[in-house]
Each structure stands twice: as structure tokens, then as C-alpha cells.
């Protein structure tokens, strides 16, 4: 005999199955969202795993930079082989901004007719595009800043295809002076807030954008900028195109190594090599010291007209490999006597990069005692500028160093 369906049993089961399927759908969607978030976080976490390398427009072109200048720099990075050596970022500094339209969108000025097309041009050459703004109402050159427009500007940058943002404190200093009342803790909290605000806006776009904080070393930025989301932060004032400025900034970086590592770097500012104010020996000094510091390497010269010496210095892949060592350990000063200094940096695989610097105006002998490195002997010694292997070192050796020059070694125990 056929039994009638038991509605008291069937309907609760159907309801249960429907509810189960609904919960599974919601659970699956939540899991998918979580996976996408994890994927996005992983992508962002991989930003600047080694110090960024590339070119920045400011040191040579200032606020007069144009679309044509940026395209020429991109072409030169490719033609000179610098791109293949790791110089990937083509960064437009201050001077690109036009006006805000009624919607609040910031538009480029007449020298940059189509920023998306410029980004496409740069990307097509295997390079990345950087741009510049400020947490203040105006930038250092008096152009539109991002104050009150952080989310909108971040979306605009992402839409254009920007890969790097330099965020320069500029006019926000006036607000610090007005509202912090000379209290360094208040000033630090204020800076953290404005820099973190732009970081949140950048991350909300979903586009991986390297975030460079330029607070000129104020409020010991190395102690907090990473927590504000920065991938690199300035440790001092602007570098100038002369040996005194380069060395005053570069040799003041001692003691900051614990704040640097993959994804977060101390930034002593851009390279001046090729701008005319440094001799070849002084240029080698800057690149050597910056590489020992695991510093970002952003050329600041006119790449399309640089001389052979400047290209040879910038394109020394042995030196660049020190800067880009994947362990990301920043070097430190080991020894100083008068105008002579020895700096060293531990590298992957147990080798050590050592720079012997002569800051005097005459050639000088600098002794290297391996005890400074915790070693007794060195079985392999490589001169990174001479591109040759030297005899093993037993205990110590003295090196002749040119005035304002450097001997840069990689030593294997």
C-alpha cells in the first residue's frame, strides 16, 4: 500500500537542505572573498622586497618636467641597459599637476596631455611609472596637493596605471608648526596620521603601488613610517649635487640598519651621479655607500645625455648586486679615523661587502683588519670597481684609496 508523504518529515528536511545550501553559498562566498583578500595582501606584501631602483625627474628637470622628458628617460633606461640592470621605476616628481575639476579629480597640466597614455608607454618598455604628491594643500613647488582628496587621488593614480607614489611633506610642515606647538610627540602622531591616510587610500584601490614617504627625516620617521604603510622613508634632507652634501647625508646613516629590510627601507635620497657636481671617484663613493646602506637607487640625471663615466658607474652590476642582495641587511660603520671610514654589510651566503672610504683630499692608505668583520682570513676577495679577484687576505691588508674615493670589496671567509 502506498503511503502518503509525511509532510511533518519532508518539509523540515527540505527547509534544512535549503538552509544548508544557503549557508554553504554564503560560506563559499566568504571564503572566496577571504582568498581574494589574502591574494591582494600577498601581492602588497611583495612590494619593494629589494630597494627600488629607477629614475626620478626632480634633480635634473625640477618642476619643469614634461611628458617628453619622461618618455626620453624610459627610452634611455632601455637603450643604455640600465633597465636590465634593475632600474625599473620612471618617477615623475613635482611639476606634473594641473587643476582640480568640479568632481574633485586632479588633472595633469598641459605638459602631460594624457597620463594614462604615458603610463602605457612606460609599461610597454618593461618599466613602471611613479608619481608625486603631498599630504599638504600644496606641494613643495606650489602645485595642488592631496589634502582632503586622498581617496580620490589614489583612485586617479591607480586608474592611470601608477606603480609608485612619492608623498612629500611640503606644506604640511606649516600645519605641524601651527598645531603641534613644538611637541615632538604630537608632531609624530600628526605625521603618522596623514601618511597612513594615503596608505589606506592606495591599498583600497587594489593596485600594488610602492609607497615612498618623504618627510625629510623629521620625527625619526624610520621608527614609525613602516607602521604607517610606507615601503621607504627619507632619513634626512634633500641631497645636493656636491660631494659635501652626499657624504654628510650618506655617512649619517649609521645606526639605522635595524629599521630596514625587505619591503621597508631607509632612504637617504636620490643619486646625483651624472649631474656634473661629482667627480667619477665621488660618484663611485655615492653608489658604493648607498649600496652598502641597502638604499633605494634612483638616478637623478638626464639619462639621454649622460657621459660614459656616469653610465659605467650607474651600470656596475657587481655593485648593484650588493644593493639588491635579497637578505636586505643594511650595513653599518665599523671603523673611523679622522676622514677615513670602513663600512660593511652582510650578504646572502655568508659573504661580506666592505667599503673603505677616503673623505680626505689626498690619496691615503686604509688598513683593513679582518677582525672588524669577525674573520681571521678571507679566501676570496673581489674588487667590485676593478672587476678583479685579489689575493686572499691573511689577518689584514692595507689598501690605497683615492681622494674622495672608495675601495669596495666582497669578501668570502
Catalytic residues: 168, 238
- Strand, coil or helix: 402: coil
d(CA 140, CA 143): 7
Q: How far is CA 369 from its chain centroid? A: 33
Q: How far is CA 202 from CA 42, 159, 325, in A?
A: 15, 11, 28
Nearest CA to 289 out of 260, 262, 253 is that of: 253
Helices (H) and strands (E) in the chain, counts: 11, 20
Longest Cα–Cα distance of the chain, Å, equals 114
User: At how many degrees (to 10) do helices 184-204 and 172-179 cross?
Assistant: 140
Nearest CA to 387 out of 306, 321, 293 is that of: 321
**How many Cβ atoms are within 10 Å of 180's Cβ, its own excluded?**
17
176 touches 190 (CB < 8 A) = yes
Amino acid at each position: 500500500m502506498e503511503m502518503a508523504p509525511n509532510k511533518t518529515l519532508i518539509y523540515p528536511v527540505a527547509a534544512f537542505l535549503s538552509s544548508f545550501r544557503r549557508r554553504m553559498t554564503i560560506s563559499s562566498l566568504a571564503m572566496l572573498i577571504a582568498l581574494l583578500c589574502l591574494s591582494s595582501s600577498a601581492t602588497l606584501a611583495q612590494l619593494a622586497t629589494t630597494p627600488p631602483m629607477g629614475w626620478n625627474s626632480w634633480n635634473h628637470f625640477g618642476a619643469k618636467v614634461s611628458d617628453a622628458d619622461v618618455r626620453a628617460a624610459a627610452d634611455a633606461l632601455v637603450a643604455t641597459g640600465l633597465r636590465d640592470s634593475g632600474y625599473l621605476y620612471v618617477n615623475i616628481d613635482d611639476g606634473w599637476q594641473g587643476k582640480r575639476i568640479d568632481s574633485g579629480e586632479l588633472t595633469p597640466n598641459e605638459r602631460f596631455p594624457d597620463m594614462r597614455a604615458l603610463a602605457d608607454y612606460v609599461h610597454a618598455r618593461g618599466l613602471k611609472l611613479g608619481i608625486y604628491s603631498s599630504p599638504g594643500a600644496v606641494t613643495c613647488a606650489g602645485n595642488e596637493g592631496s589634502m582632503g582628496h586622498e581617496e580620490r587621488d589614489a583612485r586617479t593614480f591607480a586608474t592611470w596605471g601608477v606603480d609608485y607614489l612619492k608623498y612629500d611633506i611640503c606644506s604640511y610642515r606649516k600645519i605641524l608648526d601651527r598645531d603641534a606647538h613644538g611637541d615632538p610627540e604630537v608632531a609624530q602622531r600628526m605625521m603618522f596620521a596623514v601618511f597612513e591616510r594615503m596608505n589606506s587610500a592606495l591599498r583600497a584601490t587594489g593596485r600594488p603601488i610602492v609607497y615612498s614617504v618623504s618627510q625629510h627625516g623629521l620625527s625619526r620617521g624610520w621608527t614609525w613610517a613602516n607602521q604607517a604603510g610606507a615601503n621607504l622613508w627619507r632619513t634626512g634632507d634633500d641631497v645636493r649635487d656636491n660631494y659635501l652634501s652626499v657624504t654628510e647625508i650618506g655617512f649619517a646613516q649609521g645606526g639605522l640598519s635595524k629599521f630596514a629590510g625587505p619591503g621597508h627601507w631607509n632612504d637617504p635620497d636620490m643619486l646625483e651621479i651624472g649631474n656634473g657636481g661629482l667627480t667619477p671617484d665621488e660618484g663611485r663613493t655615492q653608489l658604493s655607500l648607498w649600496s652598502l646602506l641597502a638604499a633605494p637607487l634612483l638616478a637623478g640625471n638626464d639619462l639621454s645625455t649622460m657621459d660614459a663615466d656616469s653610465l659605467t658607474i650607474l651600470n656596475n652590476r657587481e655593485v648593484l648586486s650588493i644593493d639588491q642582495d635579497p637578505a636586505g641587511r643594511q650595513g653599518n660603520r665599523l671603523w673611523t679615523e679622522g676622514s677615513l671610514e670602513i663600512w660593511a654589510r652582510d650578504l646572502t651566503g655568508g659573504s661580506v661587502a666592505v667599503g673603505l672610504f677616503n673623505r680626505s683630499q689626498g690619496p691615503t692608505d686604509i688598513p683593513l683588519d679582518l677582525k672588524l668583520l669577525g674573520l681571521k682570513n678571507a679566501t676570496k676577495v673581489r674588487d667590485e670597481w676593478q672587476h678583479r679577484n685579489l689575493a686572499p687576505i691573511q689577518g689584514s691588508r692595507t689598501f690605497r684609496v683615492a681622494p674622495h674615493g672608495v675601495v669596495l670589496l666582497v669578501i668570502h671567509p
